[in-house]
A and B are shown apart, each in its own frame.
Chain A
Amino acid sequence: MNVGAQIKHGGSVRVNAGRSGGLKAGRPDGKRGLQCPAVDMIVADKLVKLFPTPDGREKRAVNGLSFTVRQGQIYGLLGPNGAGKTTTLRMLSGLMAPTSGTARLAGFDVGTQPQRVKEILGFLTANTGLYQRLTARELLVYFAQLHQMGRRAASARAAELIEWLGIGSFAHLRCGALSTGQKQRVNIARALIADPPILIMDEPTLGLDVISNRVILEYIRKARDSGKTIILSTHYLDEAETLCDEIGLLHEGILVAAGTLDALRAATGEERLSNIFLTTIHADEKVGAIVP
């Protein structure tokens, strides 16, 4: 079963015409990107996550977070350490249950339909490990089978990704023997194995050298160009500047700014994302958030 195809053609996708207003998805500069219907692929609504602390009180890791990502967009979720980015991504992927609020991915509720959400989702983090004693090819076939593919279809899909991501030269090696960059390429292949329409990437380039970094970013662009909706969390703001169609700035669990890069520039009067970021945080502390 091709999950992506089903989502695109099936009746489960919720089109939020009122909010997206029939806009074309893709890069705002119009240079490239698919001309797809404006489908809200990710909708987070007032997400809250509380963690108990040793002193018996509760820490509010995410506080009433709401945002929408349209199909074919790369949405950058940025913020300092402890801002709540990873917790948000884990809630969106169904790994963590929100304390309150809801999130829908391609129309499926992460709280009540976690299995359906996992079928349409590719999840990648910098810390995601690989099975050291399996070869890259075996690992990809295994995850394909977990995504309900038969043995033959799984092998074919693994071969396709191995070629697309240039893994062929080390596909026969056990993952324990691969370099960091090679591992991350295998990880991307793992996340794409079911051809998911949505990708969640948490610091995908953390710890990579310049060459590997560039290769990975190129793959992310390719994935977006093939129509995938991507949420990207990164510390590297220059990456976000070049990749993201929309950006959300998180600070202490609250979305303090969100919009296209141009909109954020206009709102803050700053050119560089790092300055926008700092200005926004200070503005948040002084006068309030810049959320359209």
Chain B
Amino acid sequence: MSLSARIRTIYGKELVDILRDRRTLIAMIIVPIVLYPLLMLGSIQAVSYQADSLGEEVLVIGVVGERQQQLLAMLIERDHRALARERRRLGPDSPEAQALPVGIEKPRIVPFASEADLQESIRERSVHAGVNFERDALYLGLDESNPITIAADLEDMRSEYVASRLRELFDRTAERSNKRRLRQQQLPEQFLYPLSVTLHNLSSPPSILGQILPLILILMTITGAIYPAIDLTAGERERGTLESLMVSPVPVLDLIVGKFLVVTTVAILGATLNLVSVTATVYFGGFDRMIAQTSGDIPVGRMLLILVCLVPFAVLMSAIMIAVCSYARTFKEAQNYVTPVILAVLVPGGIAALPATRLEGVMLVMPVGNMVLLARDLLLGAAMSYWTVTLVLLSTTLYAGAAVAVAAYVFGKESVVFADAASIKVMFSRALARPTDAPSVPMALIFVALLFPTWFFIQSALSPGPGESAEYLLRTTGYLMPLLFVVLPAGVLWYWKVNVRETFRLHWPATRHLLAALIVGAAAWVPAHEVSVFQRGLMGLPAGAEESFELLGSTIAQMSPGSVVVLLALIPAICEELLFRGYLLGGLGAASRKWTAIVASAVVFAVFHFMLFKFAVTAALGVVLAYLCWQSGSILPAMVAHVVHNGLNALSPLYPAWPRALGLNPEDPWAHLPIPLVLAGCVALAAGVWLSARPVSRAAIGARHAASGN
């Protein structure tokens, strides 16, 4: 039975099993279809009912002083008369008349001796709001004004309502007074308004929806993933079915992938139902205008786009939930683990939901946060580059892959399968770790997944400002790379008793592999250059790329050749090879097929370069380097090829005579190479690969193992 057929079998059974569960159906179907419309309709009706009942209540207004009390009563009365006149003028049934305010109805105006007494009564909520006129006369001279203070408790809905009605009353009165004064002085209306300012709102119609909906959808997706994740992992263990499953001839990874796909399916189904339900409630419930503010159109196309974007998020959340719940032995234990995870997810989600947060910098790779921002920007129709979308999706996929690997690692552990076997702490005990030659897939993927946002953040933080040199970035990353790419993974290997020498493939290679490496390193730049030129002609360069290349070139031109070789060739080559072709390829290669491991490690290598434009070239180079490493059984050929390739590229700005000698124009870096040179480069690269095709002999591997004591 093939891998996919086995996973299909597990997926089919688990899906049937979970969909037959009442609790899943309630969480997935009943809640979105019934509860959300009910909640939405109910809350809107409650608000509307409260607003209506406030309008019918007697509004108690306190005023400091007896004369001021009469003054306010008179103002309210005049306001009523003025509004009635205006209504008659417009025609009582006209829309303009309907839109006119109603004035303050049913007021009860209570006089107070002092402002302190008035404030005390407002705090006690026996009076809704208060007014203090500094002067008791309504009409003043042209050089005078009457300062008025409105006192209110804005935490009290009634008080706030009355205060706003009073404010509107005074604004209308002041406007009428202004008009009267202008007429008396025979001045035009523009006299008071030399500037006529209008705010033109350019935001897309569903602005509020755009801010809130991504977060709601994300919460709904998480909610959809929780129950099936618990049921299919901790639930399985608690019901005693896990033992029979684990003695079936199915690899744990297949089991976890099957279960993970079911959780993802249920999460996406739940999110879809939620989205449809919310959209239908808004549309058919007549709330579209209230939410969308302007046209009231529901952007169905964008909703579908968001749903598509939700898929990687559902994948990530399902993987995280499966990983967390795999660690639990009981349903209850899993629920306890899930709660902090949801809170942890809400932090980046909440940051992303803030209107000022943008999808840039470290937010591009922040788990969860980047998906919230992507969904929001898509809904709002914001312009974004393919590079942005690709980076968000690739980083999310990397995190999801790492989470699935963790789940597979934890799920099959005997200390988790059997409660009586040992404490879960055993899993992290160095003393009980068994010596191995290669790290496990989870060990490899988790480290790389954690390093990815860290490295991105470091590079973003160190990136030079306008007009600055990139030397500081190059030097600092040159110091940090050995620590993060070599010392840390070596520490992880040491802790788990993984053979560092075998993992990093620290062996002396055969001469032909070294020769192959030199040829590959010297020739690879030719096809790489041609692919880049072709790609630029086809798709153009992403924004800022040209400036980055120029900045790097100008920075290199100011550095010494020694520094360039160390910072751009030696350190990156050694550190990246040890991490990607040593640690990562070692972990992936121990558990998967040769080409799966080679391609996967090359893709991760390319993602780590954070440049979509160079993605294809870097990934292809990663495949060649991984192949060299795999065939030779040593890290050294890949390092040599990497150093030569980087060195040639980095030193060319310092030695313009080199490109000229090859018939190139250093002023035009995007020109095609001469055809003979392209042919020679491709043939040399193929020769290098061919030379390395014969792997190192089994006898040599045996001798190495004997030497390393295994």
Chain A residues in the interface with B (C-beta under 8 A) = 51-52, 54, 90, 93-97, 115-116, 118-119, 121, 123, 125, 127-134, 138, 142-143, 145-148, 187, 190
Question: With a CB–CB cut-off of 8 A, which chain A residues contact B417?
Answer: 95
A148 touches B1 (CB 8 A): yes
Q: Within the assembled complex, what's the spacing in Å between the Cα atoms of A95 and B245?
A: 10
A52 touches B426 (CB 8 A): yes
Q: Show 24 A/B contacts (Cβ-Cβ < 8 Å), sorted by A.
A: A51-B422, A52-B423, A52-B429, A52-B431, A90-B414, A94-B247, A95-B243, A95-B247, A95-B418, A115-B251, A118-B247, A119-B249, A123-B247, A125-B243, A130-B241, A131-B13, A132-B239, A133-B20, A134-B13, A138-B16, A142-B9, A145-B1, A146-B6, A187-B244
Q: Within the assembled complex, what's the spacing in Å between the Cα atoms of A261 and B422?
A: 35
A118 touches B249 (CB 8 A): yes
A93 touches B241 (CB 8 A): no
Interchain nearest-CB distance for B234 vs A (Å): 13
Interchain nearest-CB distance for B481 vs A (Å): 37
Asked if B248 lies at the interface with its beta carbon under 8 angstroms from chain A, I say: yes
Q: What are the 8 A-B residue pairs with the smallest beta carbon separation, nearest first?
A: A129-B240, A118-B249, A123-B247, A133-B20, A146-B248, A129-B239, A148-B1, A129-B241
Asked if B21 lies at the interface with its beta carbon under 8 angstroms from chain A, I say: yes
Asked if B539 lies at the interface with its beta carbon under 8 angstroms from chain A, I say: no
Question: With a CB–CB cut-off of 8 A, which chain B residues contact A148?
Answer: 1, 249
Q: Within the assembled complex, what's the spacing in Å between the Cα atoms of A134 and B241?
A: 12
Interchain nearest-CB distance for B195 vs A (Å): 71
A131 touches B247 (CB 8 A): no
Asked if B450 lies at the interface with its beta carbon under 8 angstroms from chain A, I say: no
Interface SS of B by simple majority: loop
Check A123/B243 contact, CB under 8 A, given A51-B422, A146-B9, A148-B1: yes
Given contacts A52-B426, A146-B249, 4 further A-B contacts (CB under 8 A): A95-B246, A118-B249, A128-B241, A133-B21
From A128, A131, A187, contact of B17 by CB (8 A): A131
B241 touches A51 (CB 8 A): no
B250 touches A146 (CB 8 A): yes
Asked if B137 lies at the interface with its beta carbon under 8 angstroms from chain A, I say: no
A96 touches B247 (CB 8 A): no
Asked if B432 lies at the interface with its beta carbon under 8 angstroms from chain A, I say: yes
Chain B residues in the interface with A (C-beta under 8 A) = 1, 6, 9-10, 13, 16-17, 20-21, 239-241, 243-251, 414, 417-418, 421-423, 426, 429, 431-432
Q: Within the assembled complex, what's the spacing in Å between the Cα atoms of A95 and B422?
A: 14
* Most interface-central of B17, B241, B244, B414 (chain A CB within 10 A): B244
Q: What residue of chain B has the Cβ atom nearest to residue A121's Cβ? A: B247
A147 touches B248 (CB 8 A): yes
A134 touches B247 (CB 8 A): no
Q: What residue of chain B has the Cβ atom nearest to residue A120's Cβ? A: B249
B244 touches A190 (CB 8 A): yes
Check A131/B251 contact, CB under 8 A, given A52-B422, A52-B423, A145-B9: no
Q: Within the assembled complex, what's the spacing in Å between the Cα atoms of A128 and B246?
A: 11
Question: With a CB–CB cut-off of 8 A, which chain A residues contact B20?
Answer: 133
Q: Within the assembled complex, what's the spacing in Å between the Cα atoms of A133 and B13?
A: 10
Check A133/B17 contact, CB under 8 A, given A115-B249, A118-B247, A128-B241: yes
Q: Within the assembled complex, what's the spacing in Å between the Cα atoms of A131 and B431?
A: 37
Q: What residue of chain A has the Cβ atom nearest to residue B6's Cβ? A: A146
Q: What residue of chain B has the Cβ atom nearest to residue A56's Cβ? A: B431
Q: Within the assembled complex, what's the spacing in Å between the Cα atoms of A129 and B237?
A: 9
B21 touches A128 (CB 8 A): no
Question: With a CB–CB cut-off of 8 A, which chain A residues contact B250?
Answer: 146
Check A143/B248 contact, CB under 8 A, given A51-B421, A97-B414, A133-B17: yes
A147 touches B249 (CB 8 A): yes
Q: Within the assembled complex, what's the spacing in Å between the Cα atoms of A129 and B6?
A: 22
B1 touches A96 (CB 8 A): no
Q: What residue of chain A has the Cβ atom nearest to residue B13's Cβ? A: A142
* Most interface-central of A90, A130, A146, A148 (chain B CB within 10 A): A146
Q: Within the assembled complex, what's the spacing in Å between the Cα atoms of A225 and B426?
A: 43
Check A54/B423 contact, CB under 8 A, given A125-B243, A127-B240, A145-B9: yes
Q: What residue of chain A has the Cβ atom nearest to residue B8's Cβ? A: A145
Interchain nearest-CB distance for B160 vs A (Å): 53
Question: With a CB–CB cut-off of 8 A, which chain B residues contact A54?
Answer: 423
A118 touches B239 (CB 8 A): no
Question: With a CB–CB cut-off of 8 A, which chain A residues contact B244?
Answer: 123, 128-129, 143, 187, 190
Question: With a CB–CB cut-off of 8 A, which chain B residues contact A97?
Answer: 414
Check A96/B421 contact, CB under 8 A, given A115-B249, A115-B251, A119-B249: yes
A118 touches B248 (CB 8 A): yes
Interchain nearest-CB distance for A2 vs B (Å): 14
B423 touches A93 (CB 8 A): no
Question: With a CB–CB cut-off of 8 A, which chain B residues contact A127?
Answer: 240, 243
Q: What residue of chain B has the Cβ atom nearest to residue A117's Cβ? A: B249
Q: Within the assembled complex, what's the spacing in Å between the Cα atoms of A1 and B244?
A: 21
Q: Within the assembled complex, what's the spacing in Å between the Cα atoms of A115 and B432?
A: 24
Q: Within the assembled complex, what's the spacing in Å between the Cα atoms of A93 and B418?
A: 14
Q: Within the assembled complex, what's the spacing in Å between the Cα atoms of A94 and B243?
A: 11
Interchain nearest-CB distance for B572 vs A (Å): 39
Interchain nearest-CB distance for B235 vs A (Å): 10
Question: With a CB–CB cut-off of 8 A, which chain A residues contact B432?
Answer: 52
Q: What residue of chain B has the Cβ atom nearest to residue A49's Cβ? A: B421
Q: Within the assembled complex, what's the spacing in Å between the Cα atoms of A96 and B240?
A: 16
Question: With a CB–CB cut-off of 8 A, which chain A residues contact B245?
Answer: 146
